[in-house]
Structure 1
Amino acid sequence: MNQRCLAILELLNREETLDVNDLAARLDVSAVTVRKDLAMLESKGLLHRQHGCAMRVSPNDVGYRMTFDYETKRRIARKAADMVQSGEAVMIESGSTCAMLAEELVRKKRDVTIITNSAFIAGYVRGIPGARVVLLGGSYDPDAQVMSGPLVGKCAEEFYVDKFFIGTDGYDPVQGFSNVDMLRAEAVRAMAQRADKKIILTDSSKFNKRGVVQLMQAKQVTHVITDGVPENCRASLEQNGVEIVLT
């Protein structure tokens, strides 16, 4: 993604709605160029377009979360993609960094199969040649575009993979990894039973934060890929045998 698109996302996070002509003037480019950028960003689910304006997506939408610290999340996704071999099948859950990982895999690896409970991820990579996605069934959340509930676990029982990539809303040494959605946490724990390696993808802002729902204990996780980790969290993770991978 170019710097102009990143600037558009930053402006949208602050202002919620942007006029195309005003945006063109602020970025010192033509309205035609802005419309092309907005069309690309809309195709990725990062904004909505309507009547000459760009509008921020719902705060509950994965696309909204992707717009924050975009480049940091992209680096984490690239590092995670390095762990995957061409021809491999992996599980990926519904986090924003996980969606970027899915794109990295289908663009840079051959014959990778992505098993996910995220309809957003399925749509995010749908136009990329060679994308192979298995979408697990469940109760559909239209805002988060994710499947959850006990049916996700039932569907996941049909598969077994080496690696499962997971997002998180927080980590502290006492509670472990957590998030804010009980149904999402239930789906993640069910999917985790069908993988050898449980790999957390998180930016450094999530450390020493605690969500309302426990996701996984540190001892249940094999790797954490992040841009940085405070010393108290590093010590806790390493004591539980977690390998920390820095971008």
Structure 2
Amino acid sequence: MSSLVERHQHIIDSLKKKGIVQVLDLCRELDVSSVTIRKDLQFLEDKNQLFRTHGGATLSNPYIGDRPVIEKVSIQSTEKEKIGQYAAGLIEPNDCILIASGTTVFYFAKHIHPKGNVTVITAALNVAMEIAHHPGIEVIQLGGIMRKTSSSVTGIYAEKILEDFSCSKLFLGVDGIDLEFGLTTTNMMEAQLNRKMIAASRKTIVLADSSKFGKRGFGKICGLEDIEQIITDSNISQHIVDELRAGGIEVTVLPV
């Protein structure tokens, strides 16, 4: 059995390498019980060296607070730009697509220059305004209660409209992706609308920079089994990529 100091150092080293660790993996690697590992994680959290999560731990605070879109748009901007540009290339002529809200999907909207006609249904006011001038894009703006922090709408009116549509793709931005808990956002009503969007789409493509992984927002959107593809950047942990791919998700990692 490893000593206390050796175990703690192994946990910190694993976190620095992977970004996230799981209790069961640490039990196997260190040949100790889950009770011992959980005590180690509690000790290290008390020392402000990690944050415990369900079934494991992470180096960064996994719980996200709501922030205005004008503040978030400049965070990870290089990564979001690359993700948005790549995602725009997935649009096909005569597509009918859904675009959710968030800063990454706004970067995506800036790069939409379709060959042929495309119909876009969106909850995000800034997305609608960004693409409204394009002659080849027909925009359907969902209505409802406007969230000022995200410049997007939520609520029963937006959800009811979606019942009348069947879209080829949903481009979804999220606040957090947790390997166990799934996809989350900081607002419960937005999470509910996102679920309706997933139901109205044949394929869900998540646009998320690497900082979103291992994080959790207040409102759960769905489990990982409900999405088909994630587009992210190369700062993501390879361990997380391997776990996602093992679950059948197509993961596109873009160099930054």
Q: Same fold (TM over 0.5)?
A: yes
Alignment of 1:124-163 (within 5 A): 124-163=130-169
Q: Which string of whole-angstrom CA distances, capped at 9 and with x for unpartnered residues, describes residues 88-127 of structure 1?
A: 111010011111212211x344322111111121122334
Asked whether the equivalents of residues 102 and 173 of structure 2 are also in contact (C-alpha less than 8 Å), the reply is: yes
Task: Name the residue aligned to 2:237.
Answer: 230
User: Structure 1 residue 85: deviation in Å?
Assistant: 0.8
**TM-score, with length taken from structure 1:** 0.71
Unpaired stretches in structure 2, ≥5 consecutive residues: 1-65
User: What SS does structure 2 have at the residue aligned with 1:85?
Assistant: coil
Task: Name the residue aligned to 1:71.
Answer: 78
Task: Name the residue aligned to 1:52.
Answer: none
In the alignment, the residues of structure 1 paired with residue 117 and residue 241 of structure 2 have an alpha-carbon distance, to the nearest angstrom, of: 35
RMSD value over aligned CA atoms? 1.8
**TM-score, with length taken from structure 2:** 0.68
Identity %, equivalent residues: 29
In the alignment, the residues of structure 2 paired with residue 72 and residue 103 of structure 1 have an alpha-carbon distance, to the nearest angstrom, of: 14
Bigger RCO of structures 1 and 2 (CA < 8 A, at least 6 apart): 2
Asked whether the equivalents of residues 159 and 194 of structure 1 are also in contact (C-alpha less than 8 Å), the reply is: yes
Say which of 213, 236, 252 aligns to 1:245. Answer: 252
Classify 1:110/1:103 alpha carbon distance in 2 versus 1 (closer, same or farther; 3 Å): farther
Task: Name the residue aligned to 1:208.
Answer: 214
Unpaired stretches in structure 1, ≥5 consecutive residues: 1-58
Larger radius of gyration: 2
Task: Name the residue aligned to 2:107.
Answer: 100
Classify 1:101/1:178 alpha carbon distance in 2 versus 1 (closer, same or farther; 3 Å): same
User: Structure 1 residue 74: deviation in Å?
Assistant: 1.0
Say which of 62, 69, 91 aligns to 1:84. Answer: 91
Query: What amino acid is aligned across from residue 202 of structure 2 in structure 1?
Result: D
Q: Which string of whole-angstrom CA distances, capped at 9 and with x for unpartnered residues, describes residues 24-66 of structure 1?
A: xxxxxxxxxxxxxxxxxxxxxxxxxxxxxxxxxxx84433322
User: Structure 1 residue 193: deviation in Å?
Assistant: 0.3
User: Structure 1 residue 81: deviation in Å?
Assistant: 1.3
Asked whether the equivalents of residues 100 and 172 of structure 2 are also in contact (C-alpha less than 8 Å), the reply is: yes
